[in-house]
Amino acid sequence: MKVLAILYNGFKAAKAEPRLLGTVENELGLRAYLESQGHEYIVTSSKEGPDSDFQKHIADTDILITTPFHPGYLTKELMAKAKNLKVCVTAGVGSDHVDLNAAVERKIQVLEVSGSNVVSVAEQVMMSILLLVRNFVPAHEQAVSGNWQVSDIARNAFDLEGKVVGTLGAGRIGHRVLQRLVPFNTKELLYFDYKGLPKEAEQAVGARRVEDLKEFVSQCDVVTVNAPLHEGTKGLINKDLLQHFKPGAWLVNTARGAICNADDVAAAVKSGQLRGYAGDVWNQQPAPADHPWRSMRNPLGGGNGMTPHYSGTTLDAQTRYAEGTKQILQNYFEGKPQDPGNVIVGVGKIESASYGQR
């Protein structure tokens, strides 16, 4: 079989650090295994446009491997050209770069390594919340620039204790964020999800479910987005919803950039309606140099906590999702059942409750 992997270039870093498995250079550690089984393995970062390696090779590819960090967008049109394609594997979590409805129609399976980076992302959420609330970025910029004016930082720095924090989405990651928030002695923990947490889990973290989205955001000092991207969540946080946020609230998004309207969020930060926005996911990856999230600042010169998409691709996470990808391939080649938690699209139907909830 022909296996095509769309990964990102690691350059010198990947050569110096072999644990950067999600790179073109280190190939998810799969080449020796795949070639020993007689399979062809093509690895590339070239994914944009009709002359890209992605489009050149997809026509006769049997198995496609992609990552959320350098996504190869598998559209309905590309699937129509992919006559041999049987399986798409996401090395990581989040398969929204694949047209799932088209995969259902064409009976192409879509799998991901569920759980491989949930701890990594939950930790990033906590870091992002704290750097916004504590006004860390401007403070750090002062330190490295040689300046020293504490009042300019302290005027926009707060404690997390006593704040109301809510997660939009309380699945694997959102639940872990709630668990990690418990020791901070917040005023209240809230969550918004189409289904409630199990009662014992809800009680363990002391969280309260709010079923109306506008009511949910209106109560929160901090909102963190931990939901998958699909038809029901794309553009969910827009100008209209932002008007229902508490004035001066903080927003963290490590889920998917397209859940937020980029221009609306940047405008809310600039006006001070949002005191800050942090995250590592963008509606286009790599993000263009003029993306509004790169340069946005609140009226006091802070509020920007953006990074490239790396929360789910720590070295620890890369080990987990590389091993998980190999296991998915082994199961497929040997005709063994897949872990049900890894199956997003089975043969002819969406299996995941998250992506199935539209």
Given 26, 156, 226, 285, which residue is catalytic? 285
Helix/strand/coil for 152: helix
Interaxial angle between packed helices 315-334 and 118-133, expressed in degrees from 0 to 180 and rounded to the nearest 10: 150
| Residue environment code for 317-333, b if the CB has 16+ CB neighbours within 10 A, otherwise e | bbebbbebbbebbeebe
Which amino acid appears at position 174 of this protein?
Answer: G
Residue 9 a catalytic site member: no
Residue with tokens 């091993």: 323
Which amino acid appears at position 190 of this protein?
Answer: L
Say if residues 109 and 346 touch (Cβ distance below 8 Å): yes
Given 172, 309, 320, 342, which residue is catalytic? 309
Residue 256 a catalytic site member: yes
Distance CA 83, CA 80 (A): 7
Given 256, 275, 304, 320, which residue is catalytic? 256
CB-side neighbour CA atoms (13 Å) of 183: 3
Residue 70 a catalytic site member: no
Which DSSP letter does residue 98 get? B
Residue 55 a catalytic site member: no
Given 57, 70, 109, 117, which residue is catalytic? 117
Residue in 120, 131, 207 with CA at minimum distance from that of residue 169: 207
Residue with tokens 């296991």: 327
Residues near 75 by Cβ (< 8 Å), separated by ≥ 6? 99, 102
Distance CA 109, CA 344 (A): 8
Interaxial angle between packed helices 118-133 and 172-181, expressed in degrees from 0 to 180 and rounded to the nearest 10: 50
**Annotated catalytic sites, by residue?**
117, 256, 285, 309
